[in-house]
């Protein structure tokens, strides 16, 4: 069932990724936040309790609606706003002044406590380190699974991890969600979580290989049986985790939502890949390798036989 329909299971994520690429191309790439592009971190002091919706409305009015807001300071009397850089410094200053003026209509005592700038050098380093972190994580996962199982398990696991991260990036691109360092943390979290489901499936595959063997059953049969045996466990653990992350997203502040939404996407992608792609892909690669090896052995045997017959002819 699962292995026969592998090509159909692969089409859905490919379609999502292609749509994400199209949206990215039409919108000028990913919606990178100031952690990557550089920007201003403006801290507004209210001197008491305040409603973040008022700050959000002021930002929307002045074209900065995508700026995350975090409540900080003693007794949470400050709002930390992470705004992207505008091309012109004068335009940036006018925008900041307009935002604080709109906030002061509701909170007259509100003042700008500080403005910190995140530079382009820091942003480029963060991009490089983020890519390096994901690459190193995938490489270490490959080595670990190769040692614990076999090479094709490792390759299959890394492919599914890349799938999960690619789906996260594609959906974030489609929804135009701003990407900051929290997104990188979410990617690494999903890599660690999703590999756990995949390893559970591969553990069952290894056990069934020992018990059932390859004489009476194919790898596809073993993969299908192993997926069915672990399906309930995968769904149950994923649902319980999803409930917690959904609660964080619904009731959390903006900074938490930045982290929670990509994880929700990654969780769903991880369940999909660990159930429908990882084991079937392993079976496909291992079977192809076996066929290639058998063909090479046959070719080698024929060559040896031909060489022996030539030697006999020469002696005669």
Q: What is the per-residue pLDDT across 164-206, written as a single tens digit (0 to 9) for each?
A: 999 999 999 998 887 877 888 888 888 888 888 888 899 998 8
Domain 39-118 classification at class level: alpha beta
Alpha carbons 232 and 234: distance in angstroms, whole number: 6
Q: Where are the domains of the chain?
A: 6-27+123-289, 39-118
Q: If we measure between CA atoms, which residue out of 140, 194, 193 comes closest to residue 163?
A: 194
Percent of all residues in the chain with a pLDDT value above 70, rounded to a whole number:
90
Kindly report the pTM of this predicted structure.
Answer: 0.78
* Banded pLDDT at 263 (limits 50, 70, 90): very high
Tell me the CATH class for 6-27+123-289: mainly alpha
How high is the pLDDT of residue 308?
60
Tens digit of each residue's pLDDT (9 = 90 or more) over 44-67: 888 888 888 888 888 888 888 878
Q: What is the pLDDT at residue 138?
A: 81
pLDDT(245) > 70: yes
pLDDT at residue 307 tops 80: no
Burial pattern 130-154, b for ≥16 Cβ within 10 A else e, equals beeebeebbeebbeebbeebbebbb
Q: What is the pLDDT of residue 135?
A: 84
Residue 315 in this model has a pLDDT that exceeds 60: no
pLDDT reported for residue 183: 84
pLDDT of 264 reads 92
How many other CB atoms sit within 10 Å of the CB of residue 10?
16
Q: How many degrees, rounded to 5, is the angle at CA 69 between CA 64 and CA 75?
A: 145
| Predicted local distance difference test score (pLDDT) of residue 312 | 58
Predicted pLDDT at 178: 79
CA distance 34 to 29: 15
Residue 137 has pLDDT above 60, yes or no: yes
Instruction: Inform me whether the pLDDT recorded for 79 exceeds 80.
Output: yes
């Amino acid at each position: 069932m699962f292995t026969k329909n592998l090509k159909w299971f692969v089409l859905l994520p490919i379609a999502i990724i292609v749509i994400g690429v199209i949206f990215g191309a039409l919108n000028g790439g990913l919606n990178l936040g100031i952690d990557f592009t550089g920007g201003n971190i403006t801290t507004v002091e209210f001197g008491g309790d305040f409603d973040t919706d008022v700050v959000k409305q002021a930002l929307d009015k002045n074209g900065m609606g995508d700026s995350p807001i975090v409540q900080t300071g003693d007794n949470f009397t400050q709002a930390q706003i992470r705004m992207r850089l505008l091309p012109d410094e004068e335009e940036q200053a006018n925008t900041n002044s307009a935002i604080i003026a709109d906030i002061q209509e509701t909170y007259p005592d509100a003042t700008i406590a500080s403005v910190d700038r995140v530079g382009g050098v820091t942003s480029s380093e963060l991009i490089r380190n983020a890519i390096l972190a994901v690459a190193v994580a995938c490489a270490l996962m490959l080595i670990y699974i190769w040692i614990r199982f076999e090479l094709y398990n490792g390759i299959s696991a890394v492919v599914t991890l890349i799938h999960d991260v690619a789906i996260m990036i594609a959906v974030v691109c489609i929804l135009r969600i701003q990407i900051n360092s929290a997104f990188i943390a979410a990617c690494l979290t999903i890599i660690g979580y999703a590999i756990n489901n995949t390893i559970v499936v591969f553990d069952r595959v290894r056990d069934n290989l020992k018990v059932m063997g390859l004489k009476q059953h194919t790898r596809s049969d073993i993969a299908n049986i192993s997926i069915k045996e672990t399906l309930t466990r995968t769904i149950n653990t994923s649902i319980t985790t999803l409930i917690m992350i959904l609660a964080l997203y619904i009731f959390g502040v903006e900074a938490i939502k930045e982290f929670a939404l990509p994880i929700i996407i990654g969780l769903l992608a991880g369940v999909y890949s660990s159930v429908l792609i990882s084991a079937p892909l392993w079976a496909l690669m291992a079977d192809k390798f076996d066929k290639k090896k058998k063909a090479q052995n046959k070719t080698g045997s024929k060559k040896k036989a031909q060489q022996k017959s030539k030697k006999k002819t020469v002696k005669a």
